[in-house]
Structure 1
Amino acid sequence: MTENSENTLKIARQGFEHFTQGLATGEWQAFLDMLTEDFTFWFPTGKFQGLNVGKERAREFFQYVSASFPSGITINLDRLTSNETTVIFEFHDEGILFGQPYKNRVAVSFDVCGDKICGYREYFGSDGKSSLLTTD
């Protein structure tokens, strides 16, 4: 493993730790602090479908996620894959979405630029109710 890929993995793991804490508690500041100002994220459905740009847009998105899961989401990591600039976390999660039981399999990809996360992509949908945030 090269020094660059070790740094990428270190930053992404720290970011994922803050990300899972945000999902569990609704407290996103530690994760948001790790994002670049020009952070981009891609989400597959709903109000934030497609490409989104900027740290403030990310703040809106993660607050929306927390409002949709007021009791938080529990995550269990299944697999991690990485290269020089990107780390993919595959996990299964569960919680209560809009008052209904929710379970899913998810993959999130973090792009790392230096000591910050500059990109995020999310893919989901195989276990049970996978209508995450599809209402506008």
Structure 2
Amino acid sequence: MTKNSENTLKVAHQAFEYFINGLGTGEWQTFLDMLTEDFTFWFPMGKFHGLNVGKERAKEFFTYVSESFNPGLQLTSLDHVTSNEKTVVFEFRDEGLLLGKPYKNRVAVAFDVRGEKICSYREYFGSDGKSN
């Protein structure tokens, strides 16, 4: 593993820790602080479907996530971590309440790293087929 790959993995793991904390508590500031000013993110559905640009848009999105999953989502397993020189993908399962109804899902999030910051985020998910 190259020094750049090691740094990418270290930064992404820190960001993922903050991301999971945000999902569970609704406190996103530590994660938002790790984002570049030109941060972009891609989300597969809803009002944030497609490509979104900027930290302010990210703040809106993660506030929306916290409102939708109140009181928060819990990570139930981290299944795989895959990385290269600039991208780390975390595949995990989570559960909680979505708009008050039981929710379980399998999710993959990809963080692109630039220096000590996250410059891009992509999320992909698919139901595990169980709703309770």
1:111 is displaced (CA, Å) by 0.1
2:92 aligned residue? 91
Asked if 1:26 is matched to 2:52, the reply is: no
1:133 aligned residue? none
Q: CA RMSD in A?
A: 1.1
2:117 aligned residue? 116
1:30 counterpart SS class? helix
Give the alignment's TM-score, normalised by structure 1.
0.93
1:71 is displaced (CA, Å) by 1.2
Unaligned segments of structure 1, at least 5 residues:
131-136
1:129 is displaced (CA, Å) by 6.7
2:70 counterpart SS class? coil
Give the alignment's TM-score, normalised by structure 2.
0.96
1:24 counterpart SS class? helix
- Partners in 2 of 1:102 and 1:22 — Cα distance? 17
Q: Is the 8 A contact 1:101 1:129 kept in 2?
A: no
- For 1:27, the aligned partner's letter is E
Q: Is the 8 A contact 1:102 1:128 kept in 2?
A: no
1:127 is displaced (CA, Å) by 1.2
1:74 is displaced (CA, Å) by 0.6
User: Residues 121 and 129 of structure 1: is their aligned pair in 2 closer, same or farther, counting only changes over 3 Å?
Assistant: farther
- Partners in 2 of 1:96 and 1:118 — Cα distance? 29
Unaligned segments of structure 2, at least 5 residues:
none
- Partners in 1 of 2:36 and 2:47 — Cα distance? 22
Point out 4+ residue stretches in structure 1 off by more than 4 angstroms. none
Give runs of aligned pairs for residues 18-97 of structure 1, distance below 5 A: 18-75=18-75, 76-97=77-98
2:11 aligned residue? 11
- Number of aligned positions between the proteins: 130
Percent identity reads 75
1:70 is displaced (CA, Å) by 0.9
- Partners in 2 of 1:116 and 1:93 — Cα distance? 25
